[in-house]
Amino acid sequence: MTSIAEKMTALNPYPIFGEPTVAIDSKPIFDALEHSLGAALPDDYKAFAHRYGHHGFEQYVACPVDPRFPLGTTCLVDVIFGVRTDVRYSLVDEHDKYRGRMPGHLLPIAGDPGANLFVLSVGNHDHGKVYYWDREHVDVSKPRVQQMADQLEAEGIDTSRLFIDRIIGTWEERHRAELDRPPWYGNLYSVGDSFRGFIDALQPYEPPAPDPDAA
């Protein structure tokens, strides 16, 4: 089996800020994240983030996405979040930024070119799985989101300053019986049953060939 290091070498990553982060003591960072998440992160992920955090790719990297995703069969990985806290793409900053906009047992670990995220779960029912988090909630129409907001307002919840994630997630928590999945999971699309499975699925992105019949 190809090692993670061999896989990453083939994908041609580069340190975004000009130097690798391997000299940083990452243990306090992971300890703090695990305390906040309430569970341990997979060891292979921590070793990966320590080595490849704050890396991008010379060309986009693609991975297959859950067939439920309505906008295609692949998604793109643009940047890997890391342990440094003095620069962008910090695991700590990304975790804090999206706290309350997704389940508390999810950690943002990478981003795509459109500010959507790849998140790693440490939840009881899906520990180690990796998901693509769609920030625009393309699974829910705008009229439906407005209906949810109106219902929450009628129940005494002010939605005027809530992100769409909070509106949908709060509504789902209060209407669990109407769901066929856990609350907050509608905009999560599986990209790996484990962290290693996610890495193994990554491939250089090949744009589709132009359709010769297209006008």
Domain that holds residue 114: 4-136+190-204
Q: What pLDDT, on a 0 to 100 scale, did the predictor assign at position 202?
A: 97
Taking the C-alpha atoms of 172, 103, 135 and 53 in order, what is their torsion angle to the nearest 10 degrees?
-170
Same domain, 115 and 157: no
The identity of residue 199, as a single letter, is I
Rg (CA), the chain: 18
Q: What pLDDT, on a 0 to 100 scale, did the predictor assign at position 208?
A: 74
Q: What pLDDT, on a 0 to 100 scale, did the predictor assign at position 95?
A: 98
Residue 140 or residue 212, greater confidence: 140
The identity of residue 156, as a single letter, is G
Beta strand spans in 13-160 (E): 13-15, 55-64, 74-80, 106-111, 117-121, 130-133
Alpha helices in the chain (DSSP H): 4-11, 27-37, 43-52, 91-98, 142-154, 164-174, 195-201
Distance CA 66, CA 54 (A): 26
> In which band, very low, low, confident or very high, does the pLDDT at 125 lie, cut at 50, 70 and 90?
very high
Average pLDDT over residues 197-209: 90
**Domain presence at residue 214:** no
Same domain, 64 and 168: no
Average pLDDT over residues 76-83: 97
Average pLDDT over residues 1-9: 90
CATH of the domain at 69: 3.40.1580.10
Same domain, 157 and 102: no
Q: Which of 18-27, 35-44, 101-110, 173-182 has the lowest mean pLDDT?
A: 18-27
Average pLDDT over residues 28-41: 98
User: Which single residue is written with the structure tokens 């129409």?
Assistant: 141
C-beta of residue 195 within 8 angstroms of C-beta of residue 128: yes
Same domain, 27 and 127: yes
Same domain, 147 and 114: no
Cβ atoms within 10 A of the Cβ of 214, count?
A: 5
Label residue 182 left, alpha or beta by phi (over 0 means left) and psi (-120 to 50 means alpha).
Answer: beta
**Domain presence at residue 212:** no
Same domain, 87 and 172: no
Whether pLDDT at 162 is above 90 = yes
Same domain, 154 and 91: no
CA-based nearest residue to 102, from 84, 126, 78, 86 = 126
Sign of the four-CA dihedral 207, 191, 67, 139: negative
Instruction: Domain count for the chain, please give it.
Output: 2
**Domain presence at residue 125:** yes
Q: What pLDDT, on a 0 to 100 scale, did the predictor assign at position 152?
A: 98
**Domain presence at residue 210:** no
> In which band, very low, low, confident or very high, does the pLDDT at 51 lie, cut at 50, 70 and 90?
very high
**Domain presence at residue 211:** no
Same domain, 75 and 179: no
C-beta of residue 116 within 8 angstroms of C-beta of residue 110: no
Q: What pLDDT, on a 0 to 100 scale, did the predictor assign at position 214?
A: 60
Whether pLDDT at 212 is above 60 = yes
- Give the distance, in angstroms, between the CA of residue 202 and the centroid of all CA atoms in the same chain: 15
Same domain, 47 and 149: no
Q: What pLDDT, on a 0 to 100 scale, did the predictor assign at position 115?
A: 94
**Domain presence at residue 132:** yes
Distance CA 214, CA 98 (A): 40
Same domain, 75 and 93: yes
Q: What pLDDT, on a 0 to 100 scale, did the predictor assign at position 21?
A: 62
Phi, psi of 153 (to 5 degrees): -60, -40
